[in-house]
A and B are shown apart, each in its own frame.
Chain A
C-alpha cells in the first residue's frame, strides 16, 4: 500500500493476501499526491497494486491468487 490515509483517528488493519482496511480516515492520498475522499465507514486500500480502482481494493488480488494457483 503506497497510498496514505489521513484523519485524526485512523485505524488500519492489514488483511494477509488482501487489502488494508482503514477506518476513521477523511481521505487517502495516493502516490501522485491526489487526495481521494473517504465516503464509507470502512475502506479497503489495494495492497497488490493490481486494482483497477486505485487506491481502492477491487478484489483483483483474488484473480492474482487464482492464476498463481492454476499455474502451480
Chain B
C-alpha cells in the first residue's frame, strides 16, 4: 500500500518522518490526558509507524523501521497509550480475586462484562449498510488477523510457546492456504462487494478501529508487554465465538450471502477452541511458570475489554443504536 495521508499534527509528524525527514519538527504535543485511545490523529500516527514492522509501504524506505527519529516518536505515542490504558483499567482490575487461577479469571472477566455488544445489534437490528460499515471498520484488524501475536512467539518458552503456536497454526490455515483466516476475511469483503486490498479503507475508519489494531501490536512488539499481550489475546479469543455466531446470522438476515458469513461461521468453532487454549495453556502456563506475571496478563485482558467497549460505543453511536438493542443477552 501507499503511505496514507495524515489527518492532524501527530500523523503529520509520523508522515513527515516516513517521507524521509531526518527529524520531527518542534516538540511532540500529545492529545490531552484520557483521550489518546479515541483520538483519530494519535491512533493513525501509531498505526503508520507500526506498519513498518508488518508489510510496510510501497513508497516508504523499509529501513526507516529502526530510524531513531521514528522509534522516538513511536515510544512517545506508545507511552501515552499505555499510561492511559493503565489508568482506564485500574478499576476493572481492582476487583480481580487473587486466589482464582488466572485462566478462570480471564474467562470470568469476559463472562461478567456488560458492555454494549455490536454483535447483538448486527444480529437483530442492523441495516445492510451498518453491516458493510462494520466489515470496513474491522478490515484494518482482520486482514492482518493473528499477525501481531506472531511477534510474541520467540518471547515465550515451554508450554506457553506451544499453546500460542498451536493457535497460530490454526489462524494461518492449519497447512491449507485456502483456510488462512486473514484471506477468509478478504473473501468475506469481496463477497460483500467491498475492496479487499490492504489499507483500502484506512482513510475511512474510526479511531477505535485503529486502536484495535494498535493495541496488540504495541503489546507484542514490546517484549516487556508480552504477558499483557497474552492476556489480551485470551480475552480477544474468548469474546469472539458467540459474537461470531450472531454476526453470521445478522449478515444472512440483511441478505448478504453465506460466502460473506463464512468468515464468522468459521470463528464460532475455531474461537471456542482458541479461547480455552489461550486462557489455559498460554496464560495459565505463563503464570504457573512465572507467578509475578499474573498482574500483567490481567492488565492485557482488561485492556481488551476496555477497548472493545470504546469501539462498540463508537460504532453504535454512529449508527444511532439505542442501548437496549445492543444488550449482551445470551
B256 interface hit (Cβ, 8 Å): no
CB distance from B240 to the nearest CB of A (A): 8
Across the interface, B242 reaches (CB within 8 A) one of A15, A21, A41, A63, namely A63
Chain A contacts with B in 54-72, Cβ cutoff 8 A: 56-60, 62-63, 65-67, 69
Nearest-neighbor residue (CB-CB) of A70 within chain B:
B329
Map CB proximity to A onto B1-32 as digits: 1 under 8 Å, 0 otherwise.
00000000000000000000000000000000
Across the interface, A40 reaches (CB within 8 A) one of B174, B242, B328, B330, namely B174
Please indicate the chain B residues that have their CB under 8 angstroms from the CB of A17 in the complex.
104, 107
Q: A43 to B166, alpha carbons, bound, how many Å?
A: 11
A19 interface hit (Cβ, 8 Å): yes
CB distance from B124 to the nearest CB of A (A): 15
B170 interface hit (Cβ, 8 Å): yes
**Most B Cβ at <10 Å: residue of A53, A58, A69:** A58
Are the CB atoms of B273 and A57 closer together than 8 Å? yes
**Most B Cβ at <10 Å: residue of A17, A39, A40:** A40
Across the interface, B273 reaches (CB within 8 A) one of A44, A52, A63, namely A44
Please indicate the chain B residues that have their CB under 8 angstroms from the CB of A60 in the complex.
242
CB distance from B235 to the nearest CB of A (A): 12
CB distance from A15 to the nearest CB of B (A): 5
**Most A Cβ at <10 Å: residue of B110, B166, B241, B276:** B276
Are the CB atoms of B269 and A58 closer together than 8 Å? yes
Taking chain B's interface residues, is the majority helix, strand, or loop, or is none over half, making it mixed? Answer: helix
Given A42-B170, A62-B242, A67-B330, also A53-B268 (CB < 8 A): yes
Map CB proximity to A onto B259-279 as digits: 1 under 8 Å, 0 otherwise.
000000000111111011100
B50 interface hit (Cβ, 8 Å): no
CB distance from A66 to the nearest CB of B (A): 6
Chain B interface size band reads: 20 to 34
Please indicate the chain B residues that have their CB under 8 angstroms from the CB of A65 in the complex.
111
B98 interface hit (Cβ, 8 Å): no
Please indicate the chain A residues that have their CB under 8 angstroms from the CB of B277 in the complex.
21, 42
Map CB proximity to A onto B285-316 as digits: 1 under 8 Å, 0 otherwise.
00000000000000000000000000000000
Nearest-neighbor residue (CB-CB) of A15 within chain B:
B276
Please indicate the chain A residues that have their CB under 8 angstroms from the CB of B170 in the complex.
40-42
Q: A63 to B32, alpha carbons, bound, how many Å?
A: 39
A18 interface hit (Cβ, 8 Å): yes
Are the CB atoms of A59 and B241 closer together than 8 Å? yes
Q: A57 to B186, alpha carbons, bound, how many Å?
A: 26
Q: A60 to B276, alpha carbons, bound, how many Å?
A: 14
Please indicate the chain A residues that have their CB under 8 angstroms from the CB of B166 in the complex.
41-42
Chain A contacts with B in 9-27, Cβ cutoff 8 A: 15-19, 21
**Most B Cβ at <10 Å: residue of A18, A62, A67:** A62
B280 interface hit (Cβ, 8 Å): yes
Q: A66 to B112, alpha carbons, bound, how many Å?
A: 7
Q: Would you list 27 pairs from A and B whose C-beta atoms are within 8 A, ordered by A residue?
A: A19-B272, A21-B276, A40-B270, A41-B166, A41-B174, A42-B273, A44-B269, A44-B272, A44-B273, A57-B269, A57-B273, A58-B241, A58-B268, A58-B269, A59-B241, A59-B271, A59-B272, A59-B275, A62-B107, A62-B111, A62-B238, A62-B241, A63-B242, A65-B111, A66-B111, A66-B330, A69-B111
The 6 closest A-B pairs by CB, nearest first: A59-B241, A57-B272, A44-B273, A63-B330, A59-B272, A44-B272
